[in-house]
Amino acid sequence: MSRPRATPGGALFWSGVVAGWGLITAGVAGGLANVTSVPHWLAWLAGALLVHDLVVAPFAAGLGGILRVAVPGWFRAYVQGALVFTAIVLAVALPVALRLGGDPRNSSELPVDAWGGVVVVVLESLLVWGLIRSLRALRRTLRSP
* Model confidence pLDDT, tens digit, residues 95-109: 878 877 777 777 777
Give the whole-angstrom CA distance, residue 2 versus residue 90: 42
Please state the pTM of the whole predicted model. 0.57
Confidence of residue 44 (pLDDT cuts 50, 70, 90): confident
On average, the pLDDT of the chain sits at 84
Question: What pLDDT does residue 64 have?
Answer: 87
Asked whether residue 92 falls in the same domain as residue 145, the answer is yes
pLDDT of 116-126, one tens digit each? 888 888 888 88
Asked whether residue 80 falls in the same domain as residue 66, the answer is no
Asked whether residue 91 falls in the same domain as residue 113, the answer is yes
Beta strands in 16-124 (DSSP E): none
- Which range marks the domain in which residue 65 is found? 39-70
Question: What pLDDT does residue 1 have?
Answer: 57
Instruction: Specify if 49 maps to a domain.
Output: yes
- Report whether 125 contacts 82 (CB < 8 A): yes
Asked whether residue 88 falls in the same domain as residue 137, the answer is yes
pLDDT of 1-26, one tens digit each? 566 666 778 888 999 999 999 999 99
Question: What pLDDT does residue 23 have?
Answer: 95
Give the whole-angstrom CA distance, residue 84 versus residue 131: 17
